[in-house]
Structure 1
Amino acid sequence: MRTLPRSLAAGVMALFALCAALVAPENALGVDTLARDANTPPATATSGEATASDPIEYVALGDSYASGYGLLPETGNPQPTCWQSYNNYPHQLASQFGFALEDRSCTGAATPNIAQDPQPLPGGATAPLQIEALSDSTDFVTITIGGNDAGFFNIASACLALDEKGPVAGEDGAFQSPNCREVYERPEGNILKDRIDYNVRDGLRRNFQAVAEAAPNADIYVVGYPAVVPVGGKIPAHGCFRPVIGLDGYAPDSVPFTDEDITFIAEIVRELNRTVEEEASAAGFTFVNTEEASSEHSVCAPRHESYIAGITITTLDPPTAQQGALHPNLPGHNYLANTAADAIQAKHPELERTPHEPMNVMPPLPAKSAQPDGRAAIFGSLGGIVLVGGTLLLLERRRRMHTISMTSR
């Protein structure tokens, strides 16, 4: 097992502590954004316009995988720091069917924020209980929730690899663990799987019941998480590891995970989706499986084919990253919208559906302008791992310097 020099280890620990602060909503570290008008919805992703005489009421609930964290323009609802996008799958779904949409999805939400506890947000704001949007007149509901209950921040930080062979950061950021499985496997069992089986399952059960009671006449769809990494951890022929620094500088959509840990992460995502599906079925809801069909479009896929954004570092001083790491990108939300629409139409063939033109153009890389608004703070489902960008950049630079030094001897 490799160890880092004491001076480098101290620097790594300092940066790790700094980056770990990104999980706190109060932080002021920046993240680059695309320069678009956040108050103007695009023509291809507006809310549905139901008829005034008989509107079909649709309410969207969920976390950052529903809100569209990382996509612009933003709606500002239910609070500006929910970073909800007009391009998210609820808005696209409403557009296809002409539903009247009330979107309560919010980045960082966990199951208690549905019906138990209002969600605290950066800057001291609070998102109201998402269930407050439901009523007897609600016709359709979609929910994507559970990933934040599993504590995927820990997975995101602990599984980050120095290179394709490891070591990984570990929960203390010391880069002493050979792989992520060793970090979470204990003689008594897998910490993460236990967390899913208890914390996530209990949260889903409580809040699914509350949703059913609040919207007794609604048809409710639980949209599962897409494949963040390939299902079964099947590594594509071109490999999966992509360092944060490329030949021309910061590499777009980097994937700093070892092949072994891709398999481990795949197991955790599968366990999460299995638990969500079981609790959705128990509540009488329709589960929409988005994992299997998206496997070939995971973060390991080529950038133009992926439904999941990798990590794009834009500056090191201060550590700044493009928001939306390890979250559905624009093609990803196209996919989620169409998959959910197929499930709805399968049960309601009488509904007219407007053909949806896929928005499959990848957004450009952002300009290097930091905005100290705490955007890099929020982890939506499955952990936006921008928090470790500075750590990996430091390690990558030191590794390259060491390689150059060795080859010049």
Structure 2
Amino acid sequence: MKRLPAGCAAIAAIAAVLIPPAPAGATPAPGGYRHYVALGDSFAAAPLVPTQNGGSPICLQSVDNGYPAQLANRLGIRSFRNATCSGAKAQELGTPGPAWGRGVTPQYQALSLDTDLVTVTIGANDAGLFTDLMSCVSLQPGRGCVDRFTAGGADRLARKVEAAGAAVGVALAEIHRRAPRARIVVTSYGKYLRPGGCPTLAAPIQPRDADYLQATVDRLGDLIAAQAAAHQAAFVDLRTASRGHDSCAAADVRWIEPAIPAAPAAPFHPNARGGAAYAALIAAALQPA
């Protein structure tokens, strides 16, 4: 899942940022947070976005242009641990790396009693959303994937999303246990596809499929928001401000790249501009009311 935001004016459009009181005992240093840990999957790790972390190449993590690094810079945080890893699942944050790449330090191990800020973007891989999204890419008109996901009258992707939401809740409880003094900020995913999609060579997904896929991502966002509220975590909804910056947008304004990226980034993942925009949104949400 990094060009300074062309769309940071969208911060004013944050209509769904829910910031509950910090948990008891949360005492960030005067003027800001001191010990920040970023957890999550490729949306936070920013695969293929410069500069990639040579010390952990299997995670495809940008050391300076994903939203975690850009947020740390915005907040002036000196103690910053970026534990994000492409392919990570909520149910695997305590295991050594994603299932396809064992050997990476478990993300939970980055947390400590000193941690006073945690950001989390997780859940999409639990539902297999990226794999399913890529399976819908087709240059053949009329060859869609909605019918495949809903064959027999049951939406199997919807079922996986519901289970993913529950897994996020379990992860948040464990993060609280390991970092009881921390403000925990959970994000949604962004807007990948606009209504009707943009069935072009760069993003060849049929209109009906595009609407179905984005609705599924939005449903996961709603479930993540509910779990954040249930576990005294802040929820930052990236979807509203992302409108107009989806993979269908012009290359100089998009935050998420299409199937054939124009900027350094993985397909259907944030670019450097997106990382900057998401960092700005999270930083704005952390400001005192």
Same fold flag (TM > 0.5): yes
**Whole-angstrom distance in 1 between the partners of 2:90 and 2:222:** 16
Q: Return 5+ residue gaps in structure 2 as ranges.
A: 4-28
Aligned twin of 1:212: 176
> 1:261 Cα shift?
1.3
Which shows bigger deviation, 124-133 or 281-290?
A: 124-133
Q: 8 Å contact 1:180–1:264 — kept in the other structure? A: no
Quick check: 1:307 aligned with 2:249?
no
| Partner of residue 20, structure 2 | none
The question of 1:158 aligning with 2:122 is answered no
Describe the SS at the equivalent of 2:93: helix
1:66 and 2:33 matched: no
1:370 maps to: none
Asked if structure 2 preserves the Cα contact closer than 8 Å seen for 1:67 and 1:106, the reply is: yes
Are the aligned partners of 1:63 and 1:107 in contact in 2 as well (CA < 8 Å)?
Answer: yes
Residues of 2 paired with 1:56 and 1:211: CA distance? 17
Alignment correspondent of 1:266: 214
Report the structure number with the largest CA radius of gyration. Answer: 1
Paired with 2:269 and 2:145, the residues of 1 have a C-alpha distance of 20
Give the C-alpha shift of residue 81 in structure 1.
1.4
Match of 2:240 in 1: 292
Deviation at residue 187 of structure 1 after TM alignment: 3.9
- CA–CA distance in 1 between the matches of 2:243 and 2:180? 34
User: Structure 2: which amino acid aligns with 1:90?
Assistant: P
Paired residue for 1:203? Answer: 167
Determine the structure 2 residue equivalent to 1:170.
Answer: none
Distance in 1 (CA, whole Å) between partners of 2:280 and 2:265 is: 24
Alignment map for 1:15-26 (pairs within 5 Å): none
Q: CA-to-partner distance for each residue in 1:307-343, whole Å, 9 max, x for gaps?
A: 11112389xxxxxxx7511000111111110000001
1:136 is aligned with what amino acid?
A: L
Please report how far the alpha carbon of residue 234 of structure 1 lies from its aligned counterpart in structure 2 after TM superposition.
4.9
User: Structure 1 pair 281/313, CA: closer, same or farther in 2 (3 Å)?
Assistant: closer
Question: Partner residue of 2:190?
Answer: 226
Preserved contact between residue 81 and residue 121 of structure 1 (Cα < 8 Å): no
| Partner in structure 1 of residue 58 of structure 2 | 81
- In the TM superposition, residue 188 of structure 1 has moved relative to its aligned partner by 4.3
Seq. identity, %: 30
Whole-Å separation in 2 of the counterparts to 1:91 and 1:61: 12
The whole-number CA distance in structure 1 between the counterparts of 2:130 and 2:97 is: 17
Partner of 1:241: 199
- Residue 143 of structure 1 corresponds to 120
Task: Look up the equivalent residue of 2:90 and give its one-letter code.
Answer: T
> How far, CA to CA, are the matches of 1:304 and 1:324 in structure 2?
16
User: How far apart are residue 76 of structure 1 and its match?
Assistant: 3.3
Asked if the contact 1:311/1:325 (under 8 Å) is kept, the reply is yes
Question: Using a 3 Å threshold, how does the CA distance of structure 1 residues 95 and 313 change in structure 2: closer, same or farther?
Answer: closer
Partner SS state of residue 106, structure 1? coil
Q: 1:313 to 1:98 in 2, by over 3 A?
A: closer
Equivalent in 242, 245, 256 of residue 204 of structure 2: 256
Deviations 1:213-241 (A, max 9, x none): 101000110021110112xx255xxxx11
| SS of structure 1 residue aligned to 2:243 | helix
Spell out, residue by residue over 1:148-193, the C-alpha distance to the aligned partner (whole angstroms, 9 max, x if none).
0111244234312224x321xxxxxxxxxxx221111134421111
Q: Secondary structure at the match of 1:296?
A: coil
CA distance in 2, matches of 1:162, 1:219: 45
Distance 1:341 1:120 in 2: 28
Alignment of 1:82-101 (within 5 A): 82-85=59-62, 86-99=64-77, 100-101=79-80
| Counterpart for residue 404 of structure 1 | none
Distance, in Å, in 1 between the alignment partners of 2:135 and 2:266 is 19
Which residue is 1:114 aligned to?
A: 93
CA RMSD, 1 decimal:
2.5
- 1:93-129 superposed Cα distances (whole Å, 9 cap, x missing partner): 11111112111001111112223x221476x651121
**2:166 and 2:227 in contact (8 A); partners too:** no
Higher deviation after alignment, 290-299 or 303-312? 303-312
Map of 2:19 onto structure 1: none
TM-score (norm 2): 0.83
- Partners of 1:275 and 1:126 lie apart in 2 by 30
Q: 1:324 aligns with which of 266, 277, 286?
A: 266
Give the aligned partner of residue 184 of structure 1. 149
2:86 maps to amino acid: T
User: Is contact 1:229-1:298 (8 Å) kept?
Assistant: yes
* 2:282 matches 1:340: yes
Write the distance in 1 (CA, Å) between the matches of 2:71 and 2:266.
21
Please state how far the C-alpha of 1:70 moved relative to its aligned partner.
Answer: 2.0
State the structure with bigger RCO (CA 8 A, min sep 6), 1 or 2: 2
Tell me, yes or no, if the aligned pair for 2:113 and 2:180 is still in contact at 8 Å: yes
Q: Runs of 5+ in structure 1 lacking a partner? A: 1-41, 43-50, 168-178, 244-253, 315-321, 348-409
Runs of 4+ displaced beyond 2 Å:
186-189, 311-314
Q: How many residues were matched structurally?
A: 259
